[in-house]
Amino acid sequence: MSSTSVKAESPSTAKDPFPTMVTTSTPHINPKGVDIAETILLPGDPLRAKFIAETYLDDIRCFNEVRNILGFTGTYRGRPVSVMGTGMGIPSISLYSYELIHFFGVKNLIRVGTCGAMQANMNLYDVVIAQGASTNSNYLHQFNLPGFWAPLSSYRLLEQAKRIADNRSQRTHVGNVLSSDLFYGADPDAMTKWMKMGILAVEMESAGLFANAAAAGVDALGIFTVSDHLITNAETTAAERQTAFTAMIEIALELV
């Protein structure tokens, strides 16, 4: 680690549990002088981040290669925007989003990814916009709240994304997703119980992202493409996913 790098302090030991500062590098992000924009798109797959940057952005510069979690900054229609992979799961997106918010001043964090549909009226390739993210993760316990806190997305971003999707005549579902720690779960009844509570779809990251954003007073949203269906067992192919991804990315970029 260079002498200018900042060690991210644990919230429990730091004087200010949620410091916001612009720094030169953290344990997981080393931009080497390249700016990170206030608005960032966050796909799980770092190669997807590269694809988004190369396909949609102008003047791109790579700002992170640590652990191959690629990050890029460029412009979209003249406005600065960044895109970075997060890896899979709440622990991974939580550490990257924490560093982006608290050490690099990022203000709008938009997760873009795939999800598994959990309601019968949903089709492959539909777009899901997360209003909230229920979870089976323990991540929220660290905030020591005297009850159950509901991880919600930013209403400002949610309302804009829905309007953009409607203007494109894009079929969307807005509601509660499940951010699951389990891709292969042992309880065969678990998903049916979540479905009965109206959960639209399962993914693995948004609850951690929404919690970090809320704790820091910044905005976060999750936009997903349905890649598989838990009721019909329908699945998309990798090639089909590439095209289907386009609508979701374009909605996210129009938010910038």
Residue 204 lies near ligand HPA (rule: CB under 6 A): yes
Residue number with CB closer to ligand HPA (174 or 182): 182
Residue 176 lies near ligand HPA (rule: CB under 6 A): no
User: Both tokens of residue 209?
Assistant: 């992202």
Q: How far is the CB of 202 from ligand HPA (least distance, A)?
A: 4
Reported as type and span, the H/E element at residue 223 is strand 219-229
Among 107, 102, 97, residue whose Cα is nearest residue 42: 97
To the query of whether residue 228 is one of the catalytic residues in this protein, the response is: yes
Sequence-ordered strand ranges (E) for 16-160: 39-42, 58-64, 71-76, 79-84, 108-117, 127-135
Residue 203 lies near ligand HPA (rule: CB under 6 A): yes
Backbone angles phi, psi at 2, to 5 degrees: -75, 165
Q: Which single residue is written with the structure tokens 């959960």?
A: 199
Applying CB under 6 A, the span of 9-17, 110-118, 128-136, 207-215 interacting with ligand HPA comes to 110-118
| Cβ atoms of residues 141 and 185 within 8 Å | no
Residue 99 lies near ligand HPA (rule: CB under 6 A): no
Using the rule CB under 6 A, which residue among 31, 71, 116, 222 binds ligand HPA?
Answer: 116
Using the rule CB under 6 A, which residue among 202, 211, 216, 255 binds ligand HPA?
Answer: 202
Q: How far is the CB of 88 from ligand HPA (least distance, A)?
A: 8
As a dihedral over the C-alpha atoms of residue 89, residue 91, residue 94, residue 98, rounded to 10 degrees, the angle is -150
Residue 183 lies near ligand HPA (rule: CB under 6 A): yes
Residue 228 lies near ligand HPA (rule: CB under 6 A): yes
- Strand 108-117 to 79-84 pairing: unpaired
Number of amino acids touching ligand HPA (CB under 6 A):
10
The catalytic residues are 228
Give contact residues for ligand HPA (rule: CB under 6 A). Answer: 114-116, 180, 183, 202-204, 227-228
